[in-house]
Structure formats: C-alpha cells, structure tokens
Chains A and B, each alone.
Chain A
C-alpha cells in the first residue's frame, strides 16, 4: 500500500463522510464533488489516465453542477437543518450489506492478471469504434432523445 493510496483514501472517505453528515445541503453537495475528485485520483493511481480524466470531466463538470443546481432550484429551504432520516440509514445499510456480501461471495482470481499494456487514448478510440460501436450508437441515441425531451420541456407554448 503506497503512501499516495493512503492519502487519497483518507481524502475520499473524509469527503464522502462529510457529504453524508454535513447539515447544510449545499456543503454536502460540494464535498460530494471532492469525493469525485478522490475517485479520479484513484484512477490516475491505477494508471487509467483516460478514465480518470473522464471522471473529472463528467462528474465534476456535469454531475456536480447538476446536483448543485437541482438543490438550488427545487429547495426553498436550502439553509434549513434537516432532521435525521432513518429510512436513509436503512437504505445505506442495505447497500453496504449487499456490496459486502457480493465481495465475499466473489471467488478470488486463481490466475494472476495478465500484464497490461499501457492503454492509450488511441486504443480506446479504436475499440469504441469497432467492437463497441453498437452500445456507443445506442448511448448516442439515448442522449439525443434526452436533449430533444429537454428542448420540448422548455419550449415556449404557442398561444
């Protein structure tokens, strides 16, 4: 376990804990963004540069901004201290238990992982455009549909 791993873990866990416990919703959302950065740092540590960059790009640039805006636009009482929510605890414990169960049920790999060649952006592009072109097109179609849907939602009504 390298020092970098320990530092990043502490940072990510602290941010995640802060996101779960901070009384102000906006603070929680912002510390959530810090947790995203921690995850991206893990990807960098593992040598998955591209995934790390996309993690920052999508999760900080889009998802975090989206979360922050939804809080801002939908809550009237952003500042108010919310009471403790027991159903949240139940969901959290259920998810945690499920993950732990899955991890312990997984058989440990008997063979060592094959030696990875350095994964370049070019390689990812080639794979996306050949082997995974169908899923890529489907995702593209889905996103286009979402975009059109959003346009229809905000379109001015003709009077």
Chain B
C-alpha cells in the first residue's frame, strides 16, 4: 500500500504514456519530457504562489502585524489578486532602452531558473531529467543567470539598473565560488556528479538510528551552512539584498521593469530559491529519505517537500530578523571567510574518508574544521577596525 502511494506519480506517468503505445520512439520521448515539464511547472508555480503569501504572513507575524488576510480565507487567494494586478498593469518600456535585450532578460532569467529544477530528485524514481553530470548542469545553468541580470541592467539604459546589475553580478560571481567548492566534498565522498547517486549514498542508518545524511558529519554540517549562506546570496535574499534598495538604487536591475515582466523577475527569484534549496536537500539533507526508520512508510516526495518547506521557512525567518549588510561586508565575507572555510571542508572530508568514515573520522574531521574556524576568527577579528573608517572616493 505504502509503495503504491509512494510511486503514485511514477505509475501515473507510465499510465499516461501507455496511451501512446505503438507510437514512434521519439514521440514517446517528447511526450515523457512534456509530462515532466508540465508537472514541474504546475508544482513549483503553485509553490511560488503559496510561498509569496506565506512569506508575507510570516513576516507580518514576525513584525507583530497580521499580514494579508482580506482576499479569500486567511488571505490565501492573495497571489491570484496579485497575478491579476500584474497582468493588467501597463507594460512600460523606456524610450531609450534596448528593446530586444530589455525583453529577453526576464525570459532568459525565468528559463534558467526553471531549467535548474529539472535535475533534482523529488522522490523515489522521481528525477525529472536524469543527467550523469546533474550537479554540473545545475551550476552551468545557474551561471547563465549572470548574463541575464547583465542584460536586464544594460538593456534598461538606466544608471540605477546598471549599478544594480553590477552589484548583483559581483555578489553572484563571488559567492558562486564557495557555493561550488562546498559541493565538492560531497562529490568527492560519493564519487559521482549524479544527484540520484548522491541521494542513494545517504540511504541507511548508522548504529541503526542516526540517518547517514551528510549534514550529520562535521564536514557536511560546515559545508551545508556555507552552502546555505551562499544560496541566500545567490537568490539575493535579505541579509544580502544589496542589488536592490529603495533609498540607494531603487529596485536595482529591475528598476525599469513593470507589470508582468517584473512579475517574471520576481518568479525567477523564487524559483531559483526553490532550486538551490532543493539542491541543498539533495546534497546534505538526505534528499527524499526519511529521518527515522519508523517513518519510512510516509511517501518519499512528502519528505522532500517537508524539508523544502522547513528550509524556506528559515529563509523567511532570516529575512524577518536580520538587517542588511553593506556591499564591502558581503565581499569581504565571501573571500576572507567563506572561501577558506569551503576549502577546509574539502580537507575535512578527505580526513573523514581516510580515517575510516566512522567515529574516528568524525572526530578528526571535527578537529580540522574547529581548528580552521578558530584560526580564521582570530585572523579576521575586526574589532579595532570600527574606529577609523576611511572614504577613498568620497572625500
């Protein structure tokens, strides 16, 4: 029974494809891909709508107010109202804008964000597109986002847009490095770039109780935290949302976008957030595996989306509690702390592997991480730098 519920979507797709029995091979392949794409879009666009209203509600609670509660029960129909508003708004293109580039930027940014969703295993046998180098595909597609942001900034022909795009690209490029290097320990330990293999490697329980998720090893925990912070930066979320700021550069590279194009940017940002959280779950949190053996009867996709929901809640929570950082603080943090720690994770993972992947390896890799962390904190101690702040260009 539980297997049937677990595989309900897989069997559903097989049933749909059985209608095409006897059709040429390429047609079945195209239909199979289309079903995957349709399912992905349906699930994640719904999740986007849900997330947009939940975020406002939770932020409201954190700031001691109600949040949206007028449209529908508990304000749950708010995204529909938002969508209608965005659709009927006038689409303004600046006269001096580069019209083609201005139009293509939101298209490209949404396309890349959705493409990245394709390689994540959402449940047992539920990876939309199985690629041998899936992790690499994720980052290859993700790196295209920078070009799209640049196109938005340059195509708008507006100084705010350009400066905002510059900020966004600078922080994306800087944090792409720790993001990718924190993935390397997992790839090293598993020996594969395929998301399915990585999830399969986290199956089972140590001592019969503790799940073998990578986040429960010292290097995995450190790498997960670094990955999570880098993911926050990549999706331009609040402690790191310098690319847009009402008082400085309006809405950054989105300044000249209105109506549905703006909504597309907004959607791409959220979809990108889902994708990077999904990858974090795949890499460190055991993918769709259950945390306790007794709970394995719960379908695998429910576990995946429960973990996704928990991580997204942390995203909202951080947005509600932390103040913004300055550009130079973000850059310093990336190059002076994140990058060395990311490399330390690699070393710690190697130590864990060669010390036998057991308790001894656990202790030794913990020592490596702790030593590196303490040393870095002592070196980077910036307490005395608060006194004299010099302005180089604004004298």
Contacts and interface: CB of A to CB of B under 8 A. Distances in A.
B151 A30 contact: yes
Contacts of B142: 61
B312 interface: no
Interface residues of B, number: 27
A30 to B, nearest CB: 7
A65 interface: yes
Interface string A63-93: 0110011001000000000000000000000
Contacts of A156: 392
Nearest to B101: A30
Contact of A121 (B133, B141, B146): B133
A11 interface: no
A49 B137 CA distance: 9
Contact of A62 (B101, B143, B192, B193): B143
Interface string A111-126: 0000000001110000
B144 A49 contact: no
Contacts of A72: 154
Given A56-B141, A121-B193, A50 B136 contact: yes
Interface string A44-55: 000001100110
A68 B147 contact: yes
B154 A122 contact: no
B147 A56 contact: no
A145 B71 CA distance: 59
Contacts of A69: 150
Interface string A1-36: 000000000000000000000001011001001000
Contacts of A60: 140, 143-144, 147
B147 A33 contact: yes
Given A64-B147, A72-B154, A57 B101 contact: no
A69 to B, nearest CB: 8
B150 A56 contact: no
B139 interface: yes
B59 interface: no
B137 A61 contact: no
Contact of A56 (B144, B191, B193): B144
A53 B147 contact: no
A61 B144 contact: yes
A133 B97 CA distance: 49
A53 B101 contact: no
A19 B194 CA distance: 35
A26 B137 contact: no
B131 interface: yes
B136 A53 contact: yes
Contacts of B173: 65
A50 B194 CA distance: 12
Contact of B133 (A24, A27, A33, A49): A49
A122 to B, nearest CB: 6
A49 B154 contact: no
B98 A26 contact: yes
B143 A49 contact: no
A121 B143 contact: no
Contact of B192 (A54, A57, A121): A121
A102 to B, nearest CB: 31
A61 B151 contact: no
B158 to A, nearest CB: 14
B143 A57 contact: yes
B341 interface: no
B248 interface: no
A68 B136 contact: no
Contact of B150 (A54, A62, A68): A68
A56 B140 contact: yes
Contacts of B139: 57, 61
B275 interface: no
B132 interface: yes
A3 to B, nearest CB: 10
Contacts of B194: 121
Given A26-B101, A60-B144, A60-B147, A122 B136 contact: no
B192 A122 contact: yes
Given A30-B101, A61-B139, 15 more contacts: A26-B101, A27-B98, A27-B101, A30-B151, A49-B132, A50-B132, A53-B137, A57-B136, A61-B146, A64-B147, A65-B146, A68-B147, A68-B150, A120-B132, A121-B193
Q: Which 4 A-B pairs have the closest CB atoms?
A: A61-B143, A57-B140, A56-B140, A53-B136
15 contacts: A49-B133, A50-B136, A53-B136, A53-B140, A54-B136, A56-B141, A56-B143, A57-B139, A60-B143, A61-B143, A61-B144, A61-B146, A68-B150, A120-B132, A121-B136
